[in-house]
Structure 1
Amino acid sequence: MEAEKECFPRLRQVLLLFVMLSQTCAERKDYTIAEETESGSFVTNLGRDLGLGVREMSWRRARVIFNNNKNYLQLNLQTGDLQINEKLDREELCGPTEPCVLQFQVLLEDPLEVYRFKLLVSDMNDNSPEFPEAEMILKIMENTPPGTVFPLKNAQDLDVGINNIQKNYTIYPNSHFHVLTKSGSEGREYPELVLDKALDREEQPELRLIFMAVDGGSPPKSGTALVLVDILDVNDNAPEFAQPLYRVQISEDSPLESLVVTVSAQDLDTGINGEIVYSFLYGDEETSKTFALNELTGEIKIIRKLDFEKIVSYEVDIKASDGIGLSGKCTVIIQVVDVNDNAPELTVASIISPIPENSPEITVALFSIQDRDSGENGKMVCSIQDDVPFMLKPSVENFYRLVTEGALDRESRAEYNVTITVTDLGTPALKTQHHVTVRVSDVNDNAPAFTRAVYTLLVRENNRPALHIGSVSATDADAGANAQATYSLLPPPDPRLAPAALVSVNADRGQLFALRSLDYEALRAFELRVGAADRGSPALSSQAPVRVQVLDANDRAPVALYPPRDGWAPCPELVAGRLAAVGGAGTLSRSCGYELCLTGGSGSNEFKFLKPIFPNILSQDSGGKSEFPE
C-alpha cells in the first residue's frame, strides 16, 4: 500500500475492498424461473414489488442491468411487468453450480436508486446421462476373488440436483457382479463393479454386459454403455502407485506443454504382466481437453491455457494397467494459482451531459467496476484526476457515482474531460481508464453590460429624418438566447420629457436614429436612457445614459434691431443704427459682416462708425466694413 501511495500522491483514491455499500438500495428480493421458459413469459410485476406506479417507472427510466451485461430479462414500462427476454439454459449459464443464481439490478434515475435482485434458474430434467465411451473393456483374472472392485467410467449428466444421477447404476444380464457407487471428494458419484461370484475362463472366456445410468428426474432419463469383460489367466500382482494422492499447484499463466506432475506406479510381476500403461480413469471431458498424460512415463502436461477465473482446481484420477489388465488407481489434485492477468473492467450504466452550470452536487455518471481476479489481484482503487471539480462516491456494491463538487460556472469553463482510472492491487498492477466528457449548459446568470458608461452623440441641426446618429453596444457573457441582447428606450425620469419622439433605437443592433429634423436654436442637447435586456428566462437587463448634442448650422440671416426701416434719425450726431445677428435664444450666434450702402446723392463722409460699445465687436476697417464676432 505504501508503494501505491507513492505512485499516486495526488489522486483521490477510493478503495473497493469487496464491501457491500448501500446508499440508494432497497431490500433484495429473489425470483425463481425454470430453465427453458419461453421468451416473453411473466416473472413478476416489478412496479408492484417496488411500490412504484407505471408512469413513475417510465419517467425515471427504469431498466434492468445484469452483472455480465446480458439481457436475460426485459422490463415492460407500460405495465411494469418483468419478462423473460430469451430462453435460459441453466447448464450453459451455471454448469454444475447449484443453485444457479443470476445477479441483476433495477436502476431508477432522477433521483438515482438501485435495487438488487437475484434470479434463480431452476433445473429441468432436459439432459440424459451419457457415458464418455460406448464400450468399456475390463480384463479380469480368472482367479480374482469375490469382493474385488473394478472402477468403471462414470456417466455425465449436465442436470443438477435430483435430475442428476442419484447412485442409480445397474448392470445386466448379470450373475457375477453388482454395481457399487461411491462419492468422490467433490461430491461426484463414481461407479465400481464388484465381483460377487468367481470367474471361470474355461467355462466362459468373455462376458458382455449392459451398464445403465438412470437420473432422478421425473420422468427419469437413462444412458447405457457396453461393458466387455475379458477373463484372463492368472496375473497375481496389480500395479501400485507410489502414493494414492498427489497434490500440486500450478500458475494459471503457465505456458503450454508445462509439466504439472509425474505419477509413478510399480508392478512386481515381470514381463508383460509388469509392463504399466497410464491412462485417465474417468471420462471427464474438461480434464482430457486441458491435460495430456504420457501413457508410458506418467507425465501430466498442460495442453490448454488455464484460467483461474473459470476453474480453480481439477481432480484427475489416473489408472495404471499392466500388460494383462490388472490396474491400480491414484488421484491428482491440481490447484490453479491465480495471477494478476485481468485488468479491472468499467461499465457505464448512465451518463448525463450537458449539466446546468448553477446546479449544486449532481450525479453526472453512474458506473460499475469489477476484476475477475481473486485476492489482492481483485481488489481495486478507483480515482479521477485532481484538476477537475468532480469527485467519486461509492454507491451500491461495485457501483460508483461521478458527482460535481459544487455549482459550475460555464463562463469560466464550458467542458471537462474526466478520466476515471481503476487500478487493481496486483503485482504488477493493472489498470483501466475511461474518459467522460462533461459539457456545462448555460444558465442566464449574467446581465448585458454596455461597452461605455456614458454615450455622447453629436448631430448637426436640420438633419434629415431617420438619420443614423450613433450606436450603443452591450455584451453578455452567457451563451445562446441568454446572450442575445435587445435594445430599447427607457422612460425618462421626468415624464414631461419625451426622447422617444426625437430618437428611436434598433432593438437588435443598438443603432440610434433621429426621428425628425432637430433645431439647434430650439433644442441644443437632450439626454435619454437605453436599456439592454437578454432573452433568458427570467431576462436580465442593464441601462446606459446617452447624451445627444445638437450642432449649430448657419441657417439664419442677421437681423437689424435699430433704426426702424424708414431710417430716420432725430439728430445727425446720434447713432444711425446698429446691426447684429441675433439667434433664436436672443444671443449673438456667430460672426457676421456688415457694410453701409448709400442712396444716390448722399456722401460717405456724412456717416461714420463709432467705436463699438460691446467688447466683442471688432473695429471698423478702411473699406467701411466690420464684423461682429460670435
Structure 2
Amino acid sequence: MSYAMFGSQRRGLGTQRLLLSLLLLSVWEAGSGQVHYSVLEEAKHGTFVGRIAQDLGLELAALVPRLFRVASKGHGDLLEVNLQNGILFVNSRIDREELCGRSTECSIHLEVIVDRPLQVFHVEVEVKDINDNPPVFSLKEQKLLISESKQPGSHFPLEGASDADIGENALLTYRLSQNEYFSLEVPTHSKQTKRLSLTLKQYLDREKTPELNLLLTAADGGKPELTGTVQLFIQVLDINDNDPEFEQSEYKVRLMENAAKETFVIKLNATDRDEGVNGEIAYSLMSVKPKGKLLFILDENNGELRVNGTLDYEENKFYEIEVQATDKGNPPMAGHCTVWVEILDANDNAPEVTVTSLSLPVREDTHPSTVIALISVSDRDSGANGQVICSLTPNVPFKLMSTFKNYYSLVLDGALDRESVSSYALVVIARDEGSPPLSATASVPVEVADVNDNAPAFAQPEYTVFVKENNPPGCHIFTVSARDADAQENARVSYSLVERRVGERALSSYVSVHAESGKVYALQPLDHEELELLQFQVSARDAGVPPLGSNVTLQVFVLDENDNAPALLPRPGAGGGGGALSELVSRSVGAGHVVAKVRAVDADSGYNAWLSFELQPAAGGARSPFRVALYTGEISTTRPLDEADPPRQRLLVLVKDHGEPALTATATVLLSLVESGQAPKASSRVLAGAAGAETALVDVNVYLIVAICAVSSLLVLTLLLYTALRCSAPPREGACGPGKPTLVCSSAVGSWSYSQQRRQRVCSGEGAPKTDLMAFSPSLPPGLDKEVGEERQEAGSNHLGQVSSIDFLLFCSLC
C-alpha cells in the first residue's frame, strides 16, 4: 500500500490528525483476520487448542522479536500461547456457565497483536458444554398447604429445578416418590405454558393423613445423567375457603434484552371472594427459571413486576416467573399464575447448522456420488449478517453440494476402505457475511460399515509340530490362528479339517480341530512305528456372506519313544524264535574264536533301537572262557579251552537298547564242549570251509580294505549331498504314505539314524523287517571305543588281515 507524503507545512493541525487516523486504520485492516477454535469446558491445563501461529501465517522464530501478545477482555488467564511452538493451550479452568450462562453460543474472543509491522488478528475460541451441572432446586424443601376439600384432579404448582447446562444436558425430567394421593404433571416441549404441578388423585382426609412428605427428583438429559431432589412437605388444611385467583393463569410479556433496571414489566391483579382479612392479598415471587430470581422484583402490595438486573438474550430467551398471591386468612390460601417474559434479540447471532443423517453408517463399497446426509444452515440475523456460506473439512472423500438456498447434500466423493479408515470426523463450517463475520461448526461423524472383502489369513503357510508317540487320547498338540481384517461377523473365524485319507483311514480318525479356538487335538495315541509324519490342512472361514477362507498346512512329526523291547531272532535255518541257542564247540579252538552269535532286533528308531550285548556273570562267580561282543552279539573265546573247562556251558546274554529308560531281553546260549574228532561232519565241513575262506580272505585282504574304504567314502559323500538337498527342498504332500527318507542326528556320540517310512530288511539279511536302519560312526565314547579296540586286537591275533566284526557291521549298515 502506498502512502502520500506530507509536503505542505501550511496544513492545519486537524488535517494532520485526520491523515494519521486514516494511516492507523489502514494498518489495522491489513493485519486483521479471524481464526476459529473450539475447546470443551473444564479442559485440563495444557490442553491443545490450536496452532495459532501457523494458522495466522506467522513464523515461529519471529514471535518474540515481533512482540507477539494475546489480549482478551476479562479472560486473559484462561488461554495462553507457547511462544516456542506457537500453540494455543488451556491455561486455567474454563467454566462455560460462568462465562456465558445458558447462552447456546459461548466463545472467548482473543486479540492477537504483533509489531514490526503492526498486525492485529481476531481469534474466536468456542467453549463447548459438558454435563457438569446437576439440576438444582432453589429450595431444599417446598411446603404446600392443601385443603382437604380439594377435588380430585386439582393441580398444585411446584417450583421446578434449573440446570446451568444447555441443550440435552439441561433437558429435565421429573419423577415423584410413590404415594396414593398425588401424581406428577410435567411440562412438555410442545406446550411451553404447561407447568410442573401435583395432581390430586383422590380426596384428602386430614384426620387420616394430616401431612405428606414426598420426594421430587429432577434428572437432566446428559450422559451420564445428573439428578437433584427436593422434599415436598404437604400440609392438609381442614378449612374449606376460597383461593385468590388471578385474572389469567398465564401472562406473556416481551422485553428488549437491553432494557434498563426498574423497567416496568406487568401489573398483576388477583381477587379473593372472601371478605375481610381472608380477602386481603399479598404478592410474592415463587421462582424465576432459569436462575433469574434476582433479575426481577415484585411489589407485594400492588403486584407490579419490574426489571431488577441486566437481561441477556444470548443467555436466556425466555423467563418463566411463578407468582403466588396469598390471602391473610387462617390458614392462608394461595393462588398462582405464570408470567412468560420473552427477551427480544439484538443483531449478534452466529449461524446455526443442522445435520440430518440419511444413511449412516456408510458401507465401504458404497459408490461415489451417494448422498450421505442433508445439511441446513440458518442465521437469525437479517441482511448480510444472515447470509451464510457453508464449507467442509478438507482432505476427506466427501463434498458438499448445494441443493437449495441454505440447504446442502453431503455426498461421497471417493472410494472407502474400512480397514484403512474406519470413521471420519467431518466438520461443517458455516460463516455469515457480516462484519466481522460470525461462524459456527457442526460435527458429522461418519462410520464406515464393513463388507466381507478380506479372507482369514494365517501368519505362516505351514507349521511343523513335534508330538511324542503314545500320547493320551484327546491331547492338545497345536493351535492354529487366523486373523481377519474385517469386523464383527465378517471377522468371526471358524476352523475345520480338510478331510483326506491317511492310508486306509480318514484323517478325522487321527486328529480334530476346535471350530472356534483353532486347537488341534490328537484323537488317539500315535505310533511312531506305524506313522512317522502326518501332514494335513486346516481351513479357516469367516462368517461373512459369502464366506471367505484360506488353508494352512500342518506337518505333525511323531517322535519315537522307547516303547519296544529288543526281540531275539532265531538262528538262520532254525525256523522258530523260541528256546535257547545251542552250539557245539571244539575244545581245540584258540582264543578269539567265534562260537555263536545272538541276534536281536528293536522295533523302535534311533538310539531307542541301538542294541548292546552283555554277558551276565556265571553262577558261583566262576570266570567264563567266553565273552560277547558289545554291538555284534558274537560270542567268542577269551582263551584256549582246556580239559578243566566244564563240558556244558550255559551263558546268559543281556540284550539292552539305549532308550530312556532302557528295555532289555535275555538270551540263553547252551555251549557243549566236544573233542575235535567228535564234532559233526557238517560242522567239520563248516570249519574246513571257514579255514579255506580264511586263507582266501588273507589273499584278498589288501583288495578288500581298499574296496571298503572307497565304498564308504563314496557313501558318506552321497549322504551329505542328499542331506543338503533334502534340507533345501520344500515339503511335499502325502508324507503319510511311502516317501523319501529323512536323515536326522539322534546321538550325542556321533551316531546317525536313517529312518524310512516303508518297512525293509537290513542289508545283512538277518532279523525281522524294521522301519529304521542304524549306522553308527566309529567315534564312540571313550569306554566303548577302548572295548571295541580290544576286540579288534584279539580278533587280529587269530585272523591276520581279517576285518573286525565292528567294521563288518559298519560296512553292512552303510550298504
TM over 0.5: no
Comparing both structures, which one devotes a greater share of its residues to helix?
2
Q: For CA contacts below 8 A with separation 6 or more, give which structure has more relative contact order.
A: 1
